[in-house]
Chains A and B, each alone.
Chain A
C-alpha cells in the first residue's frame, strides 16, 4: 500500500474481490478509527467508521440488506450511504469517501488518517 503524504490523495486498499458481495471487512487505522468496508449485493462499495452510533457495535459484523447494515449488538439499522441511523433511531457514523478504479478500492486519505496532534496544535 502506498502511503503518500500529499493532501487530497487516495489510499489504495487493494482489489475489489477481497470482499464478497453482501459482506464487509475491516481496516484498522493506527492512531485512528477502524474502518468497515462493505460490498453490497448490488455491487456497490461503502466505507464507514466501524462503530455504531448507539453503543459502538462493530458494524462490519452486521447483516447487510440493500444499502443498509443492521448493527450486530442491538439491531440498529444504519444507512451505508449516509452513515445515518434509520427508522426511529437517531445518530450518525462518519462515512469515508470511497472510489473503485481498475478493480481496486481507494479511500480518501484525509478521511482515513487522523490529523496528528502536533499539526492540530500548529
Chain B
C-alpha cells in the first residue's frame, strides 16, 4: 500500500464528479469518510467493484486515515502521511467521489436525498450512515473554555501539539485507553501530565485491579501523575483554561485539558431523519436500519443491544454489510472483543469476561521481577476471559481459544504458561505457535486480517512482506504484527522466503551478510569495485547501500580504505547534527562527562560569538550548542579546539558518550573509580566508526546512577570487581542489557569492552544497534566469542586497537585547518541590484 500519496487535505473538486454514464448504476451515498465508511466501501469493491456508483461525504478535510493511529502521531512516532489508509488515488482509481470537509446536515428519506453544510443536495438509492462516535464531554463548569479539547481527530492532535510546544502542564480527564495514550503522547512532547480518573482502577473496562495497579505504577515511574478515584468539579480559567479543581478540593494548574472520558454513538442525523435509534442506530444482522434503503455501520450502530467502540467488530460488520449489498447475505452475529495495546511501551492485553462470578475459576501467574501478570478465567472447561500485563505474546492464542470456545480441560494445568507449554512442546518455538493458530485467528488488528487471509494472499503470489502489505494490508498500518506476517511467509513458502528477500536494498539481490563476506573474501577495496563485482543493478547505488558499503570497507580495511564523504549521511559528512531548519548542532566531547572552567568558558564564548539560540545539556552528560550555520562550523570548531576540546561524534554511527557516576572518589557508596574508568574507556574508544551509534556507561555501584544497563556496553562496579553488561537500549524499544560476565580488574574491563566493540563492528549489519544484533545472534554466541575464547577475545581487541590508530584523529581540527572547505562555503551570493536598491 502507498502511504505517501494524496496527503494534502482534499479540496472539493467539481471535476471529480462522475460522467453521466455511471447514472445507470445504483447510487450508494456514504456519510462518513472514516474507518468504517471506507472499509465498508473496500469490502464492497472487493465483492463487486462495478455494482454501485459511490459518493462519500467526510466532515474532516482529509482522505481516509487510521484514527487509532492518532496516538503515534501525537507521540511523534508517525506522521499524518503514514497513517493514511486510502490516498486520493484510491478514490480516483475506483471512481469514488469524495466530498471532504463538508458534513451532511440532513437526510430526507421520502425524497431519498442528503444535504450538506455547503448546501449541496444529492440523491441516493442506498444510504450508508457511518458517522462513528462523538467524544463524551462531562458537563462541568468551564468545559467550553479554550484549551479544553477531546482526542478524536487530527484537529485535536494539532491543538495538543501546539499546546505542547509551549510546554507547561496538561490534565487528561479519563484514564481509559484513549486518555492514557493522550497522556503518554503529551509526556513525550515534554508536558507535565496529570491523569484524573473517576474509578479506582485505570482502564477498568479492560483491566482488572492487579493489572491496573501495575500499569499505574509503571506510568508514574515515567513521570506522570495518576489520580484515581478523582472526581472533577470544575475547569477554571479566565478566557482560557488555567486548571482543574477536584471535588475533594485539590487544584491542578494546566494550560491544556484533554477530555477522554468516553465516546457515544453519533446518532443525531439518524434520529432527526426518524430512524429507529436507541443507544445507537438500530440495525439488523445485515446492518440495515428501520428504513430498508438506509444502512449503518461502525461505532454509531447498536446491534442486538450492543454498541462497539473497537475496531475489530467494525471489520466484521463491514463484511456482513458488503455481503448484504451484493446479495450474498451472511449476517453479522456480534463480536467478541479483545484489546491489545501498548501504553508508554507497556504491553497490555485483555479479552472476554474477567469480572468473575459463579462457576468461574481464576488461574493467575505473577512474575514480579519481570513485571508480568497473567490471569485467565475458565468456566465450564472453556476459557472465557484473559488479562495479560507485561507479556502479551500469548494474547492471540487465548483470544483464539476463547472465540472458538475450545475445551481446555486437557491443558488446564499448563494454560497460564502460554501456548508453547500448553501445547506440549515445552520449548518456545514462535514458528510452531503461529502454525498452531486457527485460520480465523486475527493477525493484523489494525486492518482486521485473519491468518487464513494472509496465507491465501501468500499462496496467490505475495511472496514478500511488501507484497503482503500491498494485497491484504496485514502489517501495513502500525506494523506490530510484522513478525507474525514474516513467520507466516516462512511457514507458507518454506525455505524460499528465508534465503530470498531481505536484500541490502533494491540495488542488489545480496543480503548485508553476503556483501560483507564477499568484501573480505574477494579483498574488495572500493565502493565501485563492490558494485561491479556483485552486479549492482544501479550505477552508483542509493542512499541506503552507499553508506553501508562505505562502513563495511572502512571496517575491513583500517588505515587503507579512503573514506568516501559522498557516501556519508549529512551529519557524518558535516561532523555536526543537521536540524529541521538546516542549521547544525555542535557537541564537543567531555571525557566521561567531566569538564572544567576553560572548556565551559570556550563553550560560553562560542554561544555568544555565533549567536547560538540554545544550549542544552544532553542525556550523555555534555553540552549541545544549537543553531550553528554550516559556514560557521569550521570557525566554531577552531574555537573549541583551542580550549582543548575535540569532536563529540554526537552525529555519527560511532562511539557517542561514556556516561559515568562519581564513583569511589566522591560517593559514599562507590566501590570503584567509575569516573576514572569511564574516562579511560572513552579515550580508548572515541572516534571509532560503528554499524550504528554506540553508548557506554560506567556506574560505581549497583545503584547504577549512570544507567549502565540500558547502554550498548555498561560497566557496573561492585566490591569484588566489574560486572560487564551488553546490548541495552533506552530508545523506542527499551531493552535492559544482558550480563556478559564479571571481571576482577579495570584492565580486563577495558579489554573485554574493546573486544566486544570489535565483534559488533565486524559482525552486526549496518544500522543494527547492539540490542537487535544480540537478539538475533543470541547472547550465548557473544559470550562464546568474548568470554569463553581467550585467544579470540585478544585478537578482537588487538584488531580494535589497530583500527583505532587511524580513527582517533579529530575531524574538527582537520576542518578547522581548512580541509573540505567547499563543503562549508557558499559558491557565491547573488545580490540583484533592484533588490539592494
Residues of A within 8 A of B (CB): 1, 3, 5, 11, 13-14, 18-20, 22-23, 25-32, 37, 41-42, 55-58, 61-66, 68, 70, 72-73, 75, 77, 87-90, 112-114, 116, 119
Contact = CB atoms under 8 A, between A and B. Distances in A.
A23 B580 CA distance: 21
A37 B825 CA distance: 13
B110 interface: no
23 contacts: A1-B830, A3-B831, A5-B834, A14-B827, A23-B822, A23-B823, A26-B826, A28-B826, A29-B832, A30-B831, A31-B832, A31-B835, A37-B827, A62-B543, A63-B547, A65-B541, A65-B543, A65-B546, A66-B539, A75-B543, A88-B4, A113-B835, A114-B832
Nearest to A35: B830
A30 B574 CA distance: 25
B829 A61 contact: no
Contact of A65 (B4, B542, B822): B542
Contacts of B543: 62-63, 65, 70, 75, 77
Contacts of B542: 65, 68, 70, 77
Interface string B549-570: 0000000000000000011111
A88 B6 CA distance: 10
A31 to B, nearest CB: 4
Contact of B827 (A27, A56, A64): A27
List 8 A-B pairs, minimum CB-CB distance, nearest first.
A70-B543, A72-B570, A31-B835, A88-B4, A22-B566, A61-B570, A63-B543, A58-B582
Question: Which of A62, A72, A116 has the most CB atoms of chain B within a 10 A radius of its CB?
Answer: A72
A73 B578 contact: yes
B326 interface: no
Interface in B79-104: none
Contact of B832 (A3, A14, A72, A88): A3
Contacts of B568: 63
B538 A30 contact: no
Contact of A11 (B538, B541, B569, B830): B830
B546 A63 contact: yes
Question: Which of B567, B574, B829 has the most CB atoms of chain A within a 10 A radius of its CB?
Answer: B829
Interface of B: 2-7, 538-543, 546-547, 566-571, 573-574, 578, 580, 582, 630, 822-823, 825-836
A113 B830 contact: yes
Contacts of B6: 90
A30 B538 CA distance: 38
A41 B571 CA distance: 21
Interface of B is mostly: loop
Given A18-B822, A65-B543, A116 B830 contact: no
B828 A1 contact: yes
Given A3-B833, A14-B828, A61 B578 contact: yes
B25 to A, nearest CB: 31
Contacts of B825: 25
Nearest to B574: A61
Nearest to A113: B832
A30 B826 CA distance: 13
B382 to A, nearest CB: 47
Nearest to B566: A22
Contact of A18 (B7, B573, B827, B833): B827
A116 B629 CA distance: 28
A5 B833 contact: yes
Contact of B567 (A20, A57, A63): A63
Contacts of A32: 830, 832, 835
A23 B566 contact: yes
A87 B2 CA distance: 10
Given A63-B547, A89-B4, A20 B832 contact: no
Given A61-B582, A75-B543, 17 more contacts: A1-B828, A1-B830, A18-B822, A28-B826, A28-B830, A30-B832, A32-B830, A32-B835, A61-B570, A61-B630, A62-B543, A63-B546, A72-B569, A73-B578, A87-B4, A88-B2, A90-B6
A88 B5 contact: yes
A57 B582 contact: yes
A88 B466 CA distance: 14
A119 B830 CA distance: 19
A109 B669 CA distance: 71
Contacts of A57: 580, 582
A75 to B, nearest CB: 6
Nearest to B89: A90
Nearest to A31: B835
Contact of A64 (B566, B569, B822, B835): B566
Given A61-B570, A62-B543, A30 B822 contact: no
Contacts of B836: 30
A81 B126 CA distance: 49
Contact of A116 (B569, B826, B834): B834
Nearest to B543: A70
Contacts of B546: 63, 65
Question: Which of A13, A65, A66 has the most CB atoms of chain B within a 10 A radius of its CB?
Answer: A65
Nearest to A58: B582
Contacts of A29: 829-830, 832
B823 to A, nearest CB: 8
Given A18-B822, A25-B827, A75-B543, A30 B569 contact: no
Given A61-B574, A65-B542, A90 B832 contact: no
Given A70-B543, A75-B543, A27 B830 contact: yes
B833 A19 contact: no
Nearest to A62: B570
B278 to A, nearest CB: 44
A54 to B, nearest CB: 9
Given A3-B832, A25-B827, A30-B836, A66 B538 contact: yes
Given A65-B543, A72-B570, A90-B4, A13 B582 contact: no
Nearest to B79: A74
A64 B567 CA distance: 8
